[in-house]
Structure formats: C-alpha cells, structure tokens
Amino acid sequence: MCPVVEPESFAPPTPHPVRRRERSRAVRLWRLWRSRRPVTFNEKVRYKMLRDHRPLLVTWADKAAVRDHVAAVVGERYLPRLHHLLDDPGQLADVPLPQSYVVKPTHGSGTAIVVSPAAPADARLPEPRWAWVYAHVRPDVVPRGQLAAIGRSWVAQLYGRGPNREWAYGQVPRRVIVEELLEGPDGGIPDDYKLFVFHGVCHWIGVDRGRFEDRTQDFFTPDWEHVALSGGHPWADPPVPRPDRLAEMLDVAERLGRDTDFVRVDLYLLPDRVVLGELTSLPAGGDSPFHPASYNEVFGRPWTVPRRYR
C-alpha cells in the first residue's frame, strides 16, 4: 500500500488566464475569413469550431449532460454506470469507490484516471499539476488525498484554448465524474471504436487498441474494408476483426448524429453490450494527423459544411 498523502501537499495549479489573442475580435474575424472555404477534414473542423455555437455542442462536450442526451436518443443501456458526479472534487477523498472505476473532468477531453487491478504494477498517479493525461493504476496505489488534488487541478483549468477555439468546453460546469470501468473480453481496457458520422451517416471507423500499452490505430469503412491510413500509430497485428455488433454500433452512432453535419461517436464493444465513450464535435481541435496527407481531403469529402448553423 502507498502511504496516504494529505491533500494539502497537492495544491492545484493557478488557472491560466485566456490569452489576449484568444479574446480578440480581430483575431476571430481573421480566422473566420481564413477558414471560409474549407476542403480538408481538418479545415472543416476549424470551420465548425468557429461557427457552430448551438447549445447541442455544449451538451455533447459536457461529460455529465451528454448522459441525459444519449439516454433520450438511444437509451440508458448504452451508458456506463454512474458512481458519482461531484461539484467539489475534494469529495474524492471520502466517497465510496469500487475496486475498479474511471475518474475524469466533465469539461474537457484527453484525460482520465483509470483504476483497476489489471494496471501495471509500477504505474502511479501523476502529480496534480501534470495530471491532464491518461493514467492506469491499481487501487492499492491511489492515495485518496492525491486523487482529490488531481480533481481540483482539473477543475482549475480552462480547457479548449479560449473562446475562439473549442468554445463549448468553456460553457460546461467544471465537475468531476466517476463512472464504471468498462472491461474487454480479456478483462483489460476494451477497444475504442470511433465512428465518424456525417449528416447522419457513418463513413469511417477508427479502432484504437492498447491505449496504456502498445497502442495501435486502424481505420475502416462501414463495410469493414481496411483503409491505408495512419493517424500516428501502427496498425494492429493481427488485423482487427469485424465486430459482431457492427450493425448495432452503426445504428447507435447514426441515431446520435442525425441532427448535425458531423460528430464522432466513440463506442466500446463489451462481451455483452455496446457502451458510449463520448461524442466529439471537434476532434483534435482541427489538428488530426493524416499519413499520407492526402487522406485529410478524402476523410472530409462526405462532409458538406453549412453556410450557417441554426
């Protein structure tokens, strides 16, 4: 067992103010003009990021509010079980927690603390000031005070790089959510299926494996034809087999994406069910890597951006 570390030893960082450049109306107008004729996928993400200010995007960005939305559209059975939704991250020091669980902030992306006995024996929690990362640790090395300090560090930070960028995250209440840990057939972290839905139709599927180990990434068409594209990680070997619940996954993703021009629906395939990971409107803030670069345009071809979002 790790020694218990008092919360006071892990003070959260001072929030970084939004830079003047990100608040500038002139900069926003320049970005609007520069992005007015998007062609590639990344250009269309930036176009959407600057122009689509519908409340729906705030709901999707909010890890708590999106649960009610998903339940209303496709049903609660596609949601992970909720253990806690905390306005005060300090409560992580005291609330009851199961042996395995996931902790993350409601107002951002790209970070989570995954706790399970299957984690590497030498893995440890990050320091709170460097905690905007993915970490997988065993329950016996999670000092509650440090976990609470990580939660306070998260809520002290503004995610999305200011109002001219991924603005929706700035509208989300900063809280901490604790959910069920989803486990794959081998008891480890399940594969992450990312379905790219344009105008209510899925055109591409990305599959991420081994996020905490030797990560691989593959892309497929909805007919499960492998795409000769790399997003920065090697392809799986052996190849990823066609999932047995592919039709159900496509139906869920397309129902969730029917009211918008684009959304990426992240799903996990468990032995007995399909579960939502998240809904992402602005993947990588318009900086997704494509190798070869020509796929940046190919990926965006099914997407016709509207002149005006209503």
DSSP string, 102-139: EEEETT-SS-EEEE-TTS-TT--PPPGGG-SSEEEE-G
Is the pLDDT at 148 greater than 90? The verdict is yes
Closest alpha carbon to 238 in 281, 209, 206 = 209
In whole angstroms, how far apart are CA 188 and each of 53, 91, 181, 242?
A: 38, 28, 10, 19
Residue-wise pLDDT tens digits, 71-123: 999 999 999 999 999 999 999 999 999 999 999 999 998 899 999 999 999 99
Task: Quote the CA–CA distance of 162 and 160 in Å, as a whole number.
Answer: 6
Q: What letter does residue 194 receive in the DSSP assignment?
A: E
Mean pLDDT for the stretch of residues 4-17: 44
Mean pLDDT for the stretch of residues 46-68: 95
Please identify which residue in the block is written with the tokens 């409601």. 106
Q: Is residue 162 part of a domain?
A: yes
Task: Quote the CA–CA distance of 23 and 31 in Å, as a whole number.
Answer: 12
Residues 112, 187 within the same domain: no
Percentage helix, strand, coil, to 5, in the chain?
30, 20, 50
pTM of the model: 0.88
In the prediction, which pLDDT does 310 show?
A: 83
Residues 143, 195 within the same domain: no
In the prediction, which pLDDT does 161 show?
A: 65
Residue finishing a domain among 152, 181, 210? 181
Mapped onto helix, strand or coil, the DSSP state of residue 16 is coil
Instruction: Tell me which residue range forms the domain holding 278.
Output: 35-79+183-310
Mean pLDDT for the stretch of residues 143-147: 97
Residues 175, 213 within the same domain: no
Please state, for a pLDDT cut of 70, what percent of the chain lies above it. 87
Among left, alpha and beta (phi > 0; psi -120 to 50; other), residue 160 is: left
Q: How many domains does the chain contain in total?
A: 2
Q: Is residue 29 part of a domain?
A: no
Residues 236, 272 within the same domain: yes
In the prediction, which pLDDT does 184 show?
A: 82
In the prediction, which pLDDT does 214 show?
A: 84
Residue finishing a domain among 181, 205, 236? 181
Q: Is residue 22 part of a domain?
A: no
Residue 45 has phi, psi (to 5 degrees) of -60, -45
Residues 91, 139 within the same domain: yes
Residues 127, 12 within the same domain: yes
Residues 73, 128 within the same domain: no
Mapped onto helix, strand or coil, the DSSP state of residue 17 is coil
- What CATH number corresponds to the domain at position 267? 3.30.470.20
Residue finishing a domain among 163, 181, 199? 181
Encoded tokens for 145:
């005070």
DSSP conformation letters of 223-266: T-PEES-BSSSPPPSSPPPPPTTHHHHHHHHHHHTTTSSEEEEE
Residue-wise pLDDT tens digits, 19-40: 555 556 676 666 666 667 899 9
Q: Is residue 257 part of a domain?
A: yes
